[in-house]
Structure 1
Amino acid sequence: MLKTNLRKPQGLLIDLDGTLYHGERRIDGADEWIASLRECGLPFLFVTNNSTAAPELVAARLERMGISASADEVVTSAQAAAAYIAEHSPGATVHIVGEAGLKLAAADAGLQLVDNGEARYVLQGLDRELDYSKLQRAVSLLLGGAEYILTNPDVLLPSDDGLLPGAGSLSALLSTASGVQPTVIGKPSRILVSYALRRIGLEAEQTWMVGDNMATDIAAGHGAGCGTALVLTGLTTLDNLPHYMEQTGMQPDGVFADLRQLNTYILSMLGT
């Protein structure tokens, strides 16, 4: 553990991929850590840039790995994006380039989903069935003045089959063709973290953002005003940490070798 500047947390926002699992493989100690948080009564939410899966499916995936989770503990970029639009334009018409999780979140937020016809917003996430006709329709709406909302800017996604194109790669197509830049909801934007803070009912200074990625998790937490705890369980390692700190122009408030070390530190701060 490196030197920390973290205050005692009243709640945690926890990244998933690279922090609790890699693909379908649980990271060592993840199940024990989440069980420990429950035992000591520290509130937390799982916060993910993934827009494709509904919270119930995300929780089920964690459960399959032996990590205790429920749907109401999951915050997705799809939910945050839908809430963002509903807050600014209740009941707005939305054309979605995305999958079931995004469509469900938009419907749950009271938005009107439009496949054909005019729409006030183009809401885009990852769409693994994207084809030319979908691109054509979205670009036409953007050129016609629709506002562009992007669930998350991830260019690549890790999978069991290697790296795959992410929502950010698809956004490059739409932005290039239309000349319209999106409002980004997911990490490193603070919008997703701010939405999660409202869900957990805490102020930023009371909360830690925990993750493995300096450019997304730590940047989003820092931008929202949360304490930031970096775990060296995924993208960031002790060797490349200086590179990522230079690249992002920031440093985490605490750096932990693994989840067990993080858990020990949290328990010591809570006096349990």
Structure 2
Amino acid sequence: MKYSGYLIDMDGTIYLGSEPIPAGKRFVDRLQEKEIPFLFVTNNTTKSPASVQNRLANEFDIHVESKLIYTASLATIDYMKDDVKGKKVYVIGEAGLIDLILDAGFVWEEEKPDYVVVGLDSEVTYEKFTIATLAIQKGATFIGTNSDKNLPNERGLVPGAGALISLLETATQTEPIYVGKPEAVIMEKALDRIGLSKDEVLMVGDNYETDIRSGINNDIDTLLVLSGFTPKSAVPSLPVAPTYVIDSLDEWDFDK
């Protein structure tokens, strides 16, 4: 099937940590040459789209407009704007999350916010968890940017945003609203951004649990590329098969 647009994961698909995946760059180059619409969709909330844009250009020689980078931070903002509960927010996260939320018109509040938003925070403290716990107990809507329990880096599988969110879920006995992949929120907002329907796009990624599940759970065709998180050995036992599985993005034919 020929697709009108592509939703694309980044880490493990276009690059792997600090290492480039050459086939990933060639994949983006081919999309640009063919003028096929695409949108990078990432659960990473630590960097702004502009920062990601600069990193792609400077480290991987991939040149795109920042509007083509849709992060879980932006999806969280879009969700809160639609929810219209209020503008007061407390955030556990880094600059790529906090700055974007405040720039979008939300106001910092620790005592009784309308929302508590939790993303990855490499400098999280007990006090931050305490403030968030008390706010949720007072009725703040509890939002988790994504459910990733671990993140792969050069040291191994380190705690992800989902691990921090799980601590607060235990402390408050409150289930969060998850926004990032594989949830419907980020996928529906990404489709709005790219201006295409579910049956017109292909979700491309290396992680079955986030990227591919985001397609399967939301009726979007999927392309699993075996360049990152999910190994080839796991493919035969996946509970629901991806639409396509390839070893390298070089194998993908846009015209088939």
Q: TM-score range by the shorter chain?
A: over 0.9
Does 2:134 align with 1:144?
Answer: no
- 1:34-72: CA deviations, max 9, x gaps? 111100010001110001110011111111212222211
| Residue 172 to residue 90, structure 1, CA distance change in 2 (3 Å) | closer
| Residue 52 to residue 127, structure 1, CA distance change in 2 (3 Å) | same
Alpha-carbon distance between aligned partners in 2 of 1:149 and 1:35, rounded to the nearest angstrom: 36
Which residue is 2:207 aligned to? 213
Which residue is 2:53 aligned to? 59
| Identity fraction in percent | 38
Does 2:169 align with 1:179?
Answer: no
Contact 2:42 2:71 (8 Å CA) reproduced? yes
Contact 1:214 1:230 (8 Å CA) reproduced? yes
User: 1:155 Cα deviation (Å)?
Assistant: 0.7
Contact 1:13 1:44 (8 Å CA) reproduced? yes
**Greater Cα shift, 74-83 or 64-73:** 64-73
Q: How many positions carry a matched residue from both structures? A: 255
- 1:163-189: CA deviations, max 9, x gaps? 221100001110101101100001111
User: 1:229 Cα deviation (Å)?
Assistant: 0.9
Does 2:74 align with 1:82?
Answer: no
- 1:14-49: CA deviations, max 9, x gaps? 001111111110113111111111000100011100
Q: Read off the aligned partner of 1:231 and give its amino acid letter.
A: V
Which residue is 1:254 aligned to? 244
**Greater Cα shift, 155-164 or 41-50:** 155-164
Displaced runs of 4 or more, over 6 A: none
User: 1:109 Cα deviation (Å)?
Assistant: 2.9
**SS of 2:204 mapped into structure 1:** strand
Work out which of the residue numbers 144, 160, 175 in structure 2 matches 1:166: 160
TM-score by length of 1: 0.90
**SS of 1:234 mapped into structure 2:** coil
Which residue is 2:93 aligned to? 98
Which residue is 1:49 aligned to? 43
Contact 2:85 2:114 (8 Å CA) reproduced? no
Q: Read off the aligned partner of 1:255 and give its amino acid letter.
A: V
- 1:108-163: CA deviations, max 9, x gaps? 3322222x321011011011111111111000011111110000111111123332
**SS of 2:210 mapped into structure 1:** helix
Contact 1:106 1:113 (8 Å CA) reproduced? no
What is the alpha-carbon root mean square deviation over aligned residues?
1.3
- 1:75-113: CA deviations, max 9, x gaps? 000110111011111652111111111112212332222
User: 1:222 Cα deviation (Å)?
Assistant: 1.8
**SS of 1:29 mapped into structure 2:** helix
Work out which of the residue numbers 214, 221, 232 in structure 2 matches 1:227: 221
TM-score by length of 2: 0.96
Q: Read off the aligned partner of 1:142 and give its amino acid letter.
A: I
Alpha-carbon distance between aligned partners in 2 of 1:214 and 1:30, rounded to the nearest angstrom: 17
Q: Read off the aligned partner of 2:104 and give its amino acid letter.
A: A
Alpha-carbon distance between aligned partners in 1 of 2:217 and 2:199, rounded to the nearest angstrom: 12
- 1:191-246: CA deviations, max 9, x gaps? 11111110011111111100011111111112222111111111223211123x13
Which residue is 1:15 aligned to? 9
**SS of 1:239 mapped into structure 2:** helix
Q: Read off the aligned partner of 1:200 and give its amino acid letter.
A: I
Contact 1:90 1:111 (8 Å CA) reproduced? no
Q: Read off the aligned partner of 2:145 and give its amino acid letter.
A: T
Contact 1:86 1:110 (8 Å CA) reproduced? no
Unpaired runs of at least 5, structure 1: 1-6
